[in-house]
Chains A and B, each alone.
Chain A
Amino acid sequence: MASLRDIKRRIESVKNTQKITKAMKMVAASKLRRAQEAIIRARPYAYEMRKLINSLVARADRDLHPLLRPGGGGKVGIVVITSDRGLCGSFNASIVNFTMRTLQETFSGRDVELTLVGRKGIEAMKRRSCTVRESFMTTQFEGQLHRGAAAIIDDIVRDFMQGGTDEVYCLYNEFKSAVQQTVILERLLPFEPGMPEDEAPPLDYLYEPTQEEVFDALLVKHLHVQMHRVLHESAASEYGARMTAMDSATRNAGDVIDRLTLQYNRARQDAITTELIEVISGAEAL
C-alpha cells in the first residue's frame, strides 16, 4: 500500500492538472463564443456570394473561364485543415484519418497533392508518405483569417491555372455545435454548376469592365470568401472540441481525486487502527 504521504502528493498533483484543464476549458469556451459570432457574421456574405456565383455559373459557358473546367494536370489537390495546437480530443485525428481514407478510397490510384493547414496536420502527414505541396500554420495568420485564406487560395489557383491539378477539394471540420463537428469534403475547383435559386430565364448581364474581368475577380473572390468561411468553421470546431475534451478531462480528474481521497482515508484509518491495536496490546501486556 502506498504511504499516506505518497497519496497526498498524488492528490495534489491531480488537483493541479484539474486546475489547468478547467482553465483551458474556460478559455476554449470564451473563444468558442467569439468564433461562433464570427461565423454568424461571415455567413451572409459567403451565402450571397455563392448565390450570385451559382446563378452565374449555371448560365455561363464552361469555356468562358479556365476555373470553370478541369485543370488537366491529372492530379488531385486537397486542402486539409487542422489546428496548430493539440489537446482538443479527436479533432485532428478524425481529419487525418478521414484524409487517409479519402486517399485510399475516393482517390485510389490517383496522384494526390496535399496542402496542409495547421501544425498537427503537417506533423501527422510527415510520418506518412504523402506528397505535400504547401503547408501553412494557422498561427501565422495572426487572427487575420482572410489574409490566410487569400494566401491558401492564391497558391491553389496559381497551380490550377498552370495545369498542375485537375480538381481541388477541401477537407475540414464543419462546426455543427460545441459538441459536434463533422468532417466534410468539399469541392473548390473547378466550379460546379449548381442549380440557380430562381428558375428565371437566362439573364444576360451587362458586364463592367468586361465579362472576363468580372469572372476573373468574382471567381477568385468567391474562393477567398469560401476559404475564409472554412477557416472560421474549423477554428470554431477546434474550440468546441477542446472545450468538450477539457470538460471531460476535468471530470475525469475529479473522479481520480475522489478515488485517491478514498484510498487516502482508508490508509489513514488503517494507520490509526494499527496504532490503537499497538497501544491496547501494549497496555494489556502490563
Chain B
Amino acid sequence: MADSISVDLCARARETLHFDVTEVIVPGADGVFTVRPGHTALLSTLIPGVVLAYMNNSGEQHFAVSGGFAEVKDDHVLILSDAFEAGDEIDVARAEAAHERAESRLRKPGEDTDLARAEASLNRATARLSAQAKKYVSRGPARNP
C-alpha cells in the first residue's frame, strides 16, 4: 500500500491541479470524509465546502470548492467541481460581499428571489471565507428536510 495518494482538482474554467497528499478531507454530501491511502472505491457528491489537503512535504492547504463530485479509486482522488479556489488566492472582500448579499436576500426574500440559489450562494461564500481563514468548518449534511 502506498503511503500517499494523488489528488486531481478539476474545475470548469481553470487548469487541473495535481498534487500528492498523505490525507485529504472532502466535504461529502452525506458528511465530511477523510481519504487515506487504501481507501475503498467511493463516488460521492460534494457540497460547497473546504477541501483540506495534507501535502506530502509542504504542510496543509485549504481549497474552497463549490460542490460537485469526488471519485476515490486506487489511491487516487478526483474532485470535479464547478469552481475551486486555493485559500491564499481568495479575495476576502469579494467573498464577504457575496456572503452579505446572499444573507440579506435570505433574510428579506422578495417576490422573485430564488431561495435555493441564494442559499447555494451563501454556502459557497461561507466555504470561501473559511478556506481563506484556513478554518475547517464541518457543517454536516446540507440537506433540506
Taking a contact as CB atoms under 8 Å apart, the answer to whether A205 and B15 are in contact is: no
* Complex interface: chain A residues within 8 A of B43 (CB): 56, 205-208, 214, 218
How far is A41 from B17 in the complex, measured between Cα atoms in Å? Answer: 12
| A48 adjacent to chain B (CB < 8 Å) | yes
* Complex interface: chain A residues within 8 A of B8 (CB): 48
| B41 adjacent to chain A (CB < 8 Å) | yes
> Which residue of B has the minimal Cβ distance to A37?
B13
How far is A229 from B90 in the complex, measured between Cα atoms in Å? Answer: 26
| A45 adjacent to chain B (CB < 8 Å) | yes
* Complex interface: chain B residues within 8 A of A52 (CB): 69, 71, 78, 80
| A217 adjacent to chain B (CB < 8 Å) | yes
Taking a contact as CB atoms under 8 Å apart, the answer to whether A204 and B41 are in contact is: yes
* Complex interface: chain B residues within 8 A of A44 (CB): 10, 15-16
| A187 adjacent to chain B (CB < 8 Å) | no
Q: Among A41, A42, A208, which residue has its beta carbon within 8 angstroms of that of B29?
A: A208
Taking a contact as CB atoms under 8 Å apart, the answer to whether B45 and A214 are in contact is: yes
* Complex interface: chain A residues within 8 A of B12 (CB): 41-42, 45, 146, 225, 228
- Please, how many residues of chain B have a CB less than 8 angstroms from a CB on the other chain? 26
| A284 adjacent to chain B (CB < 8 Å) | no
Task: Tell me the chain A residues, 170-204 only, with Cβ under 8 Å from chain B.
Answer: 203-204
Dominant secondary structure at the B interface:
strand
The minimal Cβ–Cβ distance linking B42 to chain A, given in whole angstroms, is 4
| A213 adjacent to chain B (CB < 8 Å) | yes
| B91 adjacent to chain A (CB < 8 Å) | no
* Complex interface: chain B residues within 8 A of A42 (CB): 12-13
How far is A49 from B14 in the complex, measured between Cα atoms in Å? Answer: 14
How far is A120 from B71 in the complex, measured between Cα atoms in Å? Answer: 41
> Which residue of A has the minimal Cβ distance to B79?
A48
Taking a contact as CB atoms under 8 Å apart, the answer to whether B13 and A209 are in contact is: no
- Please, how many residues of chain A have a CB less than 8 angstroms from a CB on the other chain? 24
How far is A203 from B78 in the complex, measured between Cα atoms in Å? Answer: 16
How far is A42 from B11 in the complex, measured between Cα atoms in Å? Answer: 8
Taking a contact as CB atoms under 8 Å apart, the answer to whether B42 and A48 are in contact is: no
Q: A209-B29, A221-B69 are in contact. Are A48 and B41 (CB under 8 A)?
A: no
| A26 adjacent to chain B (CB < 8 Å) | no
> Which residue of A has the minimal Cβ distance to B40?
A206
Can you list 21 A-B contacts (CB < 8 A)? A41-B15, A42-B13, A44-B16, A45-B10, A45-B12, A45-B80, A146-B12, A203-B41, A205-B71, A205-B73, A207-B42, A208-B45, A209-B30, A209-B45, A209-B141, A214-B44, A217-B45, A218-B43, A218-B69, A221-B69, A225-B12
| Residues on B facing A (Cβ under 8 Å) | 8, 10-16, 28-30, 33, 40-45, 68-69, 71, 73, 78, 80, 82, 141
Listed from nearest, the 4 A-B pairs whose CB atoms lie closest are: A208-B44, A205-B43, A206-B42, A209-B30
In addition to A41-B14, A45-B11, A52-B80, 19 A-B residue pairs with Cβ atoms within 8 Å of each other are A38-B13, A41-B15, A42-B12, A42-B13, A45-B16, A48-B10, A48-B16, A48-B78, A52-B69, A52-B71, A203-B41, A203-B73, A205-B71, A208-B29, A208-B42, A209-B44, A209-B141, A214-B45, A218-B45
